[in-house]
Amino acid sequence: MTSYQFENLNITVNQQGDVATYTFEGEMTERFDFKKIEITKCKEVIFNMSQIRSFNSCGIREWVFFMKELEEVDSLSFEECSVSTIDQFNMVPATLGVGIVNSFYAPYYCEKEDKPLERLIHIDSSANDLSQGQAPILKCESCSMELIFDAIEESYFMFITGALSRSA
């Protein structure tokens, strides 16, 4: 296992056979020096983005340069993208690069408990709803009330149009 540390950002790389998983954790800022990251020769590259809390504008710039470096990778996919990662994919499409999103967190809200929560959505298993720009209908784990999707579907699922057409 290799790991990189850039102030508030931690990156660990796990290689298993032909698959390399990079796990990002923390804040994406100007401290992120993409040139220091060794790009694996593995055929399949997975970026786990579940612990990325925020991007600032310099961080977005660095990240876009990093995505350009990764254009040659055979297969790049993003999994468990945090809400803040999805916001970037929607606002700055270049942050997605050649990557495909497999799963991501979406903001929901339980009205009964007055509680915001995030739920993991897998694009494959929710493709029907997502292709129509609709949030999957989910129930609260603690009170089984139907949850309210807590973002604007049209803008939150914007990145998916590309993901679905590429996997079809």
Footprint on this chain of Zn ion (rule: CB under 5 A):
110, 113, 140, 142-143, 145
**Which residue lies nearer to Zn ion by CB, 142 or 161?**
142
CB 3 within 8 A of CB 24: no
Which three-class secondary structure state does DSSP give residue 160? helix
**Tell me, what DSSP letter sits at residue 1?**
-
If the CB atoms of residues 41 and 115 are measured against Zn ion, the closer one turns out to be 115
User: For residues 98 and 115, what is the distance between their CA atoms, to the nearest angstrom?
Assistant: 35
Least distance from Zn ion to the Cβ atom of residue 99, Å: 33
User: What element of type H or E holds 84?
Assistant: helix 83-91
Which residue in the shown chain puts its C-beta closest to Zn ion? 140
Residue with smaller CB distance to Zn ion, 70 or 148:
148
The values of phi and psi at residue 155, to 5°, are -90, -35
Name the nearest CA neighbour of 34 among 66, 59, 64, 9.
Answer: 66
C-beta closer to Zn ion: residue 41 or 139: 139
Nearer to Zn ion, 44 or 150 (CB): 150
Least Cβ distance, residue 83 to Zn ion (angstroms): 19
Residue partners of 150: CB distance under 8 A and separation at least 6: 107, 108, 109, 116
Distance CA 113, CA 92 (A): 34
Q: From the CB of 143, what's the least distance to Zn ion, in Å?
A: 3
Q: What is the nearest approach in angstroms of Zn ion to the Cβ of residue 113?
A: 4
Q: How far apart are CB 147 and Zn ion at their closest, in Å?
A: 8
